[in-house]
Structure formats: C-alpha cells, structure tokens
Amino acid sequence: MYRARLFAIRHSRTFEWIYARVEGVMIALDPVFAKIGYNRMERPVALIERGVKTVLFDCKMCGQCVLSSTGMSCPMNCPKQLRNGPCGGVRPGGYCEVKPAMRCVWALAWEGSTRMKGGAKIREVLPPVDRSLEGSSSWLRVSREKAAKLRESREAARTAVAQAFPEARAIEPAVAPLAEEPASAVNRGVLKK
C-alpha cells in the first residue's frame, strides 16, 4: 500500500488528469443518477471508490476527498490526521515523528503538488474534517454539487437572455426582432427600387 501511495504521488500529474476525466463523466451522468436516485447510487459508487482509492492512496473514506489539493497524498494517513500542513515534528529527510519509517504525508503532498497543474491549491486552507461524512462517496457528492451548480448557471444564462431581449426591444425594437423576416418582406423595398 505504502509503495502504491508513493507511486501515486510520483505520478500526481497523471492522476490529476484522470480525476478530472472521471469527474467529467460523473457530472455528465447526473441526469442518469438523478433518475435512479442519488441515495440508491451511494452504496455501489462508494464501494467502487473505496476499492480504487484504498489500493492507490490508502484512502480512509473520510468522505471529503482533498487529494487534488494535496499532491495526491491522502492527509488521513497522517497519524495526527492534520489537514493543513505538517506538525512541528517532521524528522530530517521529511520523516514522520510518530511513524519514523514513513515519510510525512505533507512533505509528500508538497512534492506531489509541484508536479500538478493545480498544485497551488495546496496553499489554500482546508476546512476541518466533517466526521458525519465518513464512509460516504466523495466522488458522488462532489459531482452532484458541481452538476447542480452547472444547471443553476445554465438556467441563469437562459433567464438573462430572456430578460435582455424584451429590454432591448423596448429601447430599440429593430435590434431585437421577434422573428426572422421572411425573404419576400426583406426584398420588397429592393424590388420597388
């Protein structure tokens, strides 16, 4: 497991890319998930997520995955489960004071982040762990939230267009015709000349 973890951190850029693709697919599947019911999807998706992420990242299924902000190094593997950087006990060479054979997850997170496109996210302060989400699927929750935001922004854009046209017509009717003029009407003036 530890070796797989180190591998994932060494290849954090690739995993960042894969994660972005998986998220895209999950968001695209939102209508399907909504039809089946997100509650029904929770168990099977969480099961797959647990399987994949346990092997690759030693995931503890905290339910609020932050791998994309921590260089693909899971902070739940820190014996103190610190979410915002290392404690003061990091040993020379970046080793953990509690588990001296293990490199500090935050030293690894820094290395992983330097390889990632969005690596600067490691500088953002993360919220404390919400223990009530433990065991739940981060993939499903995040994609559901992002799909909802996308729907909202699309709806807002549609509303803005719908509102803009009546306003435009009130100011200058010719700039926003209600419908395309038929060719015969457009050419009439030209024909008369």
- Minimum CB separation of residue 65 from ligand SF4 in Å reads 3
H or E element in which residue 122 lies: none
| Residue found under tokens 């003061």 | 88
60 within 8 A of 76, measured Cβ to Cβ = yes
Contacts of 71 (CB under 8 A, 6+ apart): 9, 12, 108, 109, 110, 111, 112, 113, 114, 115, 116, 119, 122
- Among 115, 121, 103, 109, residue whose Cα is nearest residue 12: 115
Closer residue to ligand SF4 (CB): 84 or 169:
84
- Minimum CB separation of residue 3 from ligand SF4 in Å reads 16
- Minimum CB separation of residue 74 from ligand SF4 in Å reads 3
Q: How many whole angstroms separate alpha carbon 89 and alpha carbon 98?
A: 8
113 within 8 A of 75, measured Cβ to Cβ = no
- Minimum CB separation of residue 104 from ligand SF4 in Å reads 15
Closer residue to ligand SF4 (CB): 19 or 95:
19
- Minimum CB separation of residue 64 from ligand SF4 in Å reads 6
Closer residue to ligand SF4 (CB): 41 or 176:
41
Beta bridge partners of 103: 95
Closer residue to ligand SF4 (CB): 27 or 53:
53
- How far is C-alpha 48 from the geometric centre of its chain's CA atoms? 18
Q: How many CB atoms lie within 10 A of CB 127?
A: 9
Binding site for ligand SF4 (CB under 6 A): 53, 57, 59-62, 65-67, 74, 76, 138
- Minimum CB separation of residue 147 from ligand SF4 in Å reads 19
Closer residue to ligand SF4 (CB): 33 or 73:
73
Closer residue to ligand SF4 (CB): 15 or 33:
15
